[in-house]
Amino acid sequence: MKAHAFHPDELAEWSGGSWSSRPSAAITGFCQDSRQLKPGEIYVAIRGERHDGHAFINEALAQGAAGAIADRDHFQSGQAAGGPLLGVENTRLALLDIAAAWRSRLPGSVGGVTGSAGKTTVKELTADILSSIGPTARTRGNWNNDIGLPLSLLAMTREARYGVFEAGINHIGEMKQLCAVLQPQWAIITTVGIAHLEYFGTVERIAEEKAVLAASVPGSGFVVLSADEPWYEFFRSRIRARVVSVSLAPGADADYTASRRGETVRFADRKGEQGGECEMPLPGEYFIRNALLSAAAAAQLGADLNTAAEQIGRFKPLGLRGNRICAAGVTIINDAYNANPLSMSAALQSLSGEACSGRKWAVLGDMGELGPTGPGEHRRIGEYLAKSGIERLVTVGPLAEYIGRGAVQSGFARENQVSCAGLEEAAIALRDAQAGDIVLLKASRTVRLENLIELFNKDRSL
């Protein structure tokens, strides 16, 4: 798909800004990280908690940026005179406005994906299926917030028939802002569970925020929901669009179902007129449900279920989301990108169902943004793990220590559980892992649990 060249006057109009001088180079895209900028892109200077992007404007211009978007106070100060600047009141809001204006000019069918877990997997699966029937744009990685979503939308071209974008939130009111940019014609809600309670307070408020995406889909569109979810009727009551239901329950009254026979899963529509089957590339019921949500959405947009199954069978997860590596005969499942109680329980359920010639290890780190509920939620994960059949538990971090306590109090063998302050201690605990064992890594992003792999390999090479 050929990239669109943005006109300077368009950007000034859409953002309410003004140029210090007109860019001489064609504007081919947008970037907020000067280290990743490509020639011809506009650098967007974002003020963050740790860094102020305005400090890198000259660096971006020197690297070939067509220009930069800067807050008006910086623009007027004359601090950056190395190239064209578009001065705006607030660069973060200007980026949203520019993306919203561009989105309104896109002829393709654009949808949003949200939920407490599974967003990235469902987005990738849906985009993979749709890519087999037409040009498809998608969220870059997990760029699903008020910076990543507009940047991903601005990379979608007029030639794209479909766009699949994540909408991720961790504060009340954010979804409304994202929907104003996304303008979704359809949506998928994966699941609702405990996440970001530090900011939301209750799961009910999380569900209310997720429902904003479903409610923003017009009556001409559709919203895919799992009828197996406890929040199914809650979402139905807030939707103007057509509801497309999915279920894994035998004999379920749903628009699309999935049934398992050994390692093969078959997808079918309500009438039994369409179907497709494949072996699941990842284990667990959780992945099957995500695959079914994706297949249902793609089927509504013109893909048949056989094509959907073929694409699902080829699926490879993005980095840190269930990737598998083998080290000294030990299989390591690197699911360390992020974690909340819902996704951690799902990961443990998948590990529990794995075929394994050795022992199953869970290396679990702190789950963030849970506020005062943190200790209790970690303890509940331990209680769940104790009944899962997993043989070894290593925890990393002060909150994760409660996982160990909960597991032991629920009958998990104390001698099979180790609580570690950091990754170095965890690497020592893993020295007992042997060929044939499976090791799951799962934690919130701040733990950087994936770095344990390098320590594990280094330890084995000594």
Q: Does residue 95 lie in a domain region?
A: no
Q: Does residue 181 lie in a domain region?
A: yes
pLDDT tens per residue across all 462 residues of the chain: 566 789 999 999 999 999 999 998 889 999 999 999 999 999 999 998 888 999 999 999 999 999 999 999 887 765 555 789 999 999 999 999 999 999 999 999 999 999 999 999 999 999 999 999 999 999 987 899 999 999 999 999 999 999 999 999 888 999 999 999 999 999 999 999 877 667 787 889 999 999 999 999 999 999 999 999 999 999 999 999 999 999 999 999 999 999 998 889 999 999 777 789 999 998 889 999 999 999 999 999 999 999 999 999 999 998 888 999 999 899 999 999 999 999 999 999 999 999 999 999 999 999 999 999 999 999 999 999 999 999 999 999 999 999 999 999 999 999 999 999 999 999 999 999 999 999 999 999 999 999 999 999 987 764
User: In this structure, are 348 and 215 located in the same domain?
Assistant: no
The CATH number covering residue 219 comes to 3.40.1190.10
User: In this structure, are 376 and 261 located in the same domain?
Assistant: no
Last residue of a domain, one of 90, 116, 140: 90
The CATH number covering residue 38 comes to 3.40.1390.10
pTM above 0.85, yes or no: yes
User: In this structure, are 401 and 262 located in the same domain?
Assistant: no
The CATH number covering residue 335 comes to 3.90.190.20
- Structural domain including 136 reads 106-313
Measure the CA–CA gap between 159 and 142, rounded to whole angstroms.
23
Last residue of a domain, one of 286, 313, 340: 313
User: In this structure, are 276 and 136 located in the same domain?
Assistant: yes
Q: Does residue 97 lie in a domain region?
A: no
Measure the CA–CA gap between 337 and 320, rounded to whole angstroms.
5
pLDDT value of position 193: 80
User: In this structure, are 185 and 299 located in the same domain?
Assistant: yes
Tokens of 211: 């429902």
State the alpha helices, DSSP H only, in 358-434. 374-386, 401-409, 423-429
User: In this structure, are 60 and 113 located in the same domain?
Assistant: no
Measure the CA–CA gap between 77 and 41, rounded to whole angstroms.
23
User: In this structure, are 142 and 282 located in the same domain?
Assistant: yes
Q: How many domains does the chain have?
A: 3
In one-letter notation, the amino acid at residue 207 is A
User: In this structure, are 286 and 157 located in the same domain?
Assistant: yes
DSSP 8-state code for residue 82: S
Last residue of a domain, one of 313, 332, 356: 313
Structural contact between residues 223 and 187, judged by C-beta atoms closer than 8 angstroms: yes
User: In this structure, are 23 and 135 located in the same domain?
Assistant: no
User: In this structure, are 58 and 140 located in the same domain?
Assistant: no
